[in-house]
Structure 1
């Protein structure tokens, strides 16, 4: 009897630097390694056919017109849509759908009405079509329950949190240094440079110190960059605040390794990947207490109780003084909980639950 055919949506590979791609690629590799029950197909952009290997996986090529005419899915028993904003969810009632929801940030960020309406419509469509919902943090799971009516979520649809994995940082070549390498102590923050990340509250942390601040991201909103620069000017530290975009993976690792502390004062996060990466190296991480961050950082992180300069300065000073080798080991242990092997095993169990095989 032929094995059931299932599809993993790997369309995010169109941008290998995107956050969704960093979720899909390691998950796909682990599913390929562990799977023996199914014929696994990966749905990929044309340039990525074969990009996940040839052994244990087949490919379905993504085409732009599939947004309007669904890809042929009637021969597949299950489709795993890897983002709540995916265009590519089959309409055939004979294909089971697992939907991974990374965040509902648009509900909290208050984007313009057009963006809000578009994202809400997409998320509602995908949630209503799903036979099984999976979230990457328990915060997002609870967020779905809090907004169930708005999102069209039915309690009859299984809803589960599966902790995502985080890959180990690749070692650096000997003597490597980024284009900009501070000579003294510096604080580091990584992520899209937009208002939900709340970076503009950080410059006052440099007052009364010789620290620098590096904020790096793959995307920057021009208006918000000016907000950060204005905050730095007001704090009198403009010459020590550096905003970088499109840094390499090697640059990122160097900044993690050499920073005095990693900072993430976000107002909204579906997960918080850089937090785990910094903790892999035992670094002190300083986080907001909002959305998913306390769940990711656990007891190993330090938390800003509010964003007033005095409170943040005291939290940073106290946390740095407390960060002993034992606290460093605690951070590494917290990071080790985020395993791709376990995430893939959990997803395979969900596939089995849905398909009854």
Structure 2
């Protein structure tokens, strides 16, 4: 098979989970008897130059609103236009913009759905009120086959879009930090709880920080490290001051996988108090770095994490607070969860992801 990945996610993301997934997929497919072509002439994505030559960065040292949308339209108008050339057996679209639908010339396509966050939470969080859900519905409902990254995502797809179950194929992801060696990161506290993510909306950060603020005030040697997302906003800094913890919360982002691995490895606990998760890649990352995990008992997390995490109710402040207190005090519990995490991690591999994805491609072509 000759498979084409379009440029969307490599335009929209400089670094992130979805582009990382397509990097792993493309790398794995290249090791098989199949051919993979990756579209994208212009990109600031860190993974794309590892997959193809001749990628042109777009103003890499400048940061301004909607920059990645400009990259998308650069590729749309002045890119390689491989979708319309139709020199492939199947297109795997990397995100949900429907620009390609009238260019397929009868070729089948597959789309991966990661979660249904926009559909479920847009009424609660205004930053989710955009065209994504409209575009997504059109692209997903017209696809020859759909990949869902968890049974929970498949269930939500059936419930919200009324898509036939036999058109949706569950293909699990794997550990992004597999075979990665931790690289030293300066400026980390000696003991810290780790939060990874954008800290907005359904990430539930505001509720979480209030829930553990007394622990941070009381335990002078324990800090909270936030990684990923943007630096703290003025509103966040004001909230930290109000809670009396402005000197106990540290922002430490990573540039490389090695740095990400180090931040996980040195944490006492990784906590994800999210209200919804499509899969939970960071949980696998924590498992791989021997970091015990506290996680919300919601959506796909029990499916992916099994009994290898300590579960919380993300809407219950006492549940969050008491779980963090217990994990900090109980070294035996932390060690037990680390061992269980290593066992749970063995359920997932990128080789398995690639093999199951190729089966979906074959199914789509045969339709």
Normalising by the smaller structure, the TM-score range is: 0.7 to 0.9
Separation (CA, whole Å) in 1 of partners of 2:48 and 2:320: 48
Contact 2:83 2:103 in 1 (8 A): no
The structural deviation recorded for 1:242 is 1.7
Give the Å deviation of 1:23. Answer: 1.0
Residue 84 of structure 1: how far off its partner (Å): 3.7
Match 1:159 to one of 165, 168, 176: 168
2:118 equivalent to 1:110 = no
Match of 1:193 in 2: 199
Cα deviation code 1:272-328 (max 9, x no counterpart) = 221110111222101112222222222100111244443322212334514254432
The CA distance in 2 between the partners of 1:192 and 1:170, in whole Å, is 23
Q: How does 1:111-190 map to 2 (within 5 A)?
A: 116=129, 118-148=131-161, 153-155=162-164, 158-167=167-176, 168=178, 170-173=180-183, 176-178=184-186, 180-183=187-190, 185-190=191-196
Indicate how the Cα distance of structure 1 residues 244 and 156 shifts in structure 2: closer, same or farther if over 3 A, else same. closer
- 2:297 maps to 1:285: no
> 2:8–2:95: 8 Å Cα contact kept in structure 1?
no
Equivalent of residue 82 in structure 1, options 91, 94, 97: 94
Shift in Å at residue 139 of structure 1?
1.4
Conserved? CA contact 2:254–2:260, under 8 Å: no
Tell me the residue number matched to 1:9.
6
Q: CA shift at 1:113, angstroms?
A: 6.9
Shift of 1:333: 1.7
Deviations 1:153-212 (A, max 9, x none): 542761111001223162135xx332x2213x1101111131221122134242432310
* Alpha-carbon distance in 2 for matches of 1:244, 1:325: 25
CA contact (8 A) 1:218 1:246 kept: no
| Contact 2:193/2:267, CA 8 A, preserved across alignment | yes
Structure 1 unaligned spans of 5+: 55-61
| Residues 266/66 of structure 1: CA separation in 2 closer, same or farther (3 Å cut) | farther
Aligned-CA RMSD value: 3.0
Post-superposition CA distance 1:222-271 (Å, at most 9, x none): 3xx624x4553444322101234565434322221111100111112222
Equivalence map 1:317-336=2 (5 Å): 317-320=325-328, 321=330, 322-323=332-333, 325-336=335-346
CA distance in 2, matches of 1:186, 1:49: 33
Displacement of 1:43:
2.0
Equivalent residues, number: 333
2: CA distance, partners of 1:97 / 1:86:
12
1:235-254 alignment to 2 at 5 Å?
235-245=243-253, 248-254=256-262
Q: 1:315-354 to 2 correspondence within 5 Å?
A: 315-320=323-328, 321=330, 322-323=332-333, 325-354=335-364
In structure 2, do the counterparts of structure 1 residues 163 and 277 end up closer, same or farther at CA, with 3 Å as the change threshold?
Answer: same
1:43 matched to 2:52? The reply is no
**Is structure 2 residue 273 aligned with structure 1 residue 261?**
no
User: Given the two structures, how large is their TM-score scaled by the length of structure 1?
Assistant: 0.82
The structural deviation recorded for 1:39 is 3.9
Which runs of 5 or more structure 2 residues have no equivalent in the other structure?
A: 54-73
Change (3 A) 1:115 1:280: closer
How far did residue 103 of structure 1 move?
1.5
- Equivalents in 1 of 2:309, 2:270: separation in Å? 10
Please give the secondary structure, in 2, of the residue aligned with 1:238: coil
**For residue 69 of structure 2, what is the aligned residue in structure 1?**
none
